């Protein structure tokens, strides 16, 4: 895990349009203000939320921002989460070039600080034991142990799932859901790190040619596989990155078509003259998937 700084007390909210770090606008924001549970603007209908709050119920505190309601133990842990979540929300909606539905409810984020509590939640919620954070039914459940510093794209990944779930209520293919969440959250996290004084670029994992999942198999996958799960996530992210880099407008049209459950071969016609068939796409993608996509993360401001 790469080192980063945990922000305690006053923090800086950085609102950056995707791909335009030089136009960053910085706004000071104080620590989250605690709100009594019965005064929150919305309640969470997700039964997993009740399971979360049933774990040490006397410890939970609550607050909210423009798009999220937070359930947490310590404000110095929840405050940087709130900054990052709002940042990710704006970057991801900008990347999709869509306005969020005006009547969308706020998303509830449950922040677990202790690994034992998270493990208890995994069991009570019947989650996969490898799960480090999830989006479920419009709510997010994440871990933030205050004993560690954080520098990864987990929160952005789950926020991306939330936004896709709201824009495309009929669901999208698994590879696209996970691949886009990885792709956009890595870009958002790199922008967030740069706004905080780090040199950072998104990192896309190269895949050895012999390990690449055949494209028809990847496209037909309905759930992340128990075996080869790392390759599945890396390849899905790399395919989304490849399609978006080839033509962003065509990619967004393909996303809309797949959300309407068009066959992939039909949706691929949104790339006229580029990919004549899935076989042609696979040939070009295999070359891309094996290429390295380097990254760096260095601190450029003094602690």
- Give the model confidence (pLDDT) of 55-65 as tens digits: 999 999 999 99
Q: Which of 69, 90, 70 is nearest to 13 (CA)?
A: 90
Alpha-carbon distance values, 271 to 98, 181, 213, 277, 281 (Å): 20, 22, 22, 10, 10
CA distance 261 to 275: 19
Contact between 198 and 300 under an 8 Å Cβ cutoff? The reply is yes
CA distance 175 to 218: 7
DSSP strands (E only) in 37-185: 61-64, 68-72, 107-112, 133-136, 139-143
CA distance 161 to 167: 10
CA distance 56 to 73: 10
160-217 residue pLDDT tens: 999 999 899 878 999 999 999 999 999 898 888 888 777 778 888 899 989 999 999 9
Q: What is the pLDDT of residue 109?
A: 97
Contact between 199 and 300 under an 8 Å Cβ cutoff? The reply is yes
Give the number of C-alpha atoms closer than 13 A to the C-alpha of residue 256, restricted to the C-beta side: 11
CA distance 137 to 165: 9
Domains in the chain (CATH in brackets) are 11-171 (3.40.30.160)
| 220 φ/ψ angles, rounded to the nearest 5 degrees | -90, -5
Q: What is the pLDDT of residue 100?
A: 66
Residue 175: how many other CB atoms lie within 10 Å: 26
25-70 residue pLDDT tens: 334 456 899 999 999 999 999 999 999 999 999 999 999 999 999 9
Handedness of CA 36, 38, 42, 48 (dihedral sign): positive
Model confidence, pTM: 0.82
């Amino acid at each position: 895990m790469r080192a980063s700084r945990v922000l305690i007390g006053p923090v800086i909210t950085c609102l950056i349009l995707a791909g335009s770090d030089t136009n960053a606008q910085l706004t000071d924001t104080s620590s989250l203000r605690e709100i009594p549970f019965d005064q929150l603007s919305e309640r969470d209908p997700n039964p997993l939320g009740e399971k979360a709050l049933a774990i040490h119920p006397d410890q939970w505190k609550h607050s909210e921002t423009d798009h999220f309601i937070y359930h947490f133990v310590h404000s110095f842990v929840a405050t940087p989460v709130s900054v990052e979540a709002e940042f990710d929300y704006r970057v991801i909606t900008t990347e999709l070039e869509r306005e969020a539905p005006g009547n969308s409810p706020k998303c509830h984020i449950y922040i677990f600080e202790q690994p034992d509590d998270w493990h208890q939640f995994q069991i009570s919620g019947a989650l996969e034991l490898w799960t480090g954070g999830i989006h479920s039914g419009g709510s997010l459940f994440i871990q933030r142990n205050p004993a560690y510093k954080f520098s990864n794209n987990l929160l952005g990944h789950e926020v991306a799932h939330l936004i896709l779930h709201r824009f495309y209520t009929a669901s999208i293919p698994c590879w696209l859901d996970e691949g886009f969440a990885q792709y956009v959250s890595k870009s958002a996290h790199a922008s967030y790190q740069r706004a905080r004084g780090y040199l950072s670029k998104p990192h896309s994992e190269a895949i050895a040619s012999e390990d690449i999942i055949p494209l028809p198999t990847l496209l037909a996958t309905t759930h992340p596989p128990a075996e080869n799960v790392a390759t599945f996530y890396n390849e899905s992210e790399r395919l989304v990155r490849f399609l978006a880099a080839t033509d962003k407008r065509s990619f967004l049209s393909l996303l809309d078509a797949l959300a309407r459950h068009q066959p992939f071969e039909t949706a691929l016609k949104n790339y006229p003259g580029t990919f004549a068939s899935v076989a042609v796409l696979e040939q070009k993608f295999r070359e891309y998937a094996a290429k390295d996509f380097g990254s760096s993360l260095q601190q450029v401001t003094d602690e």
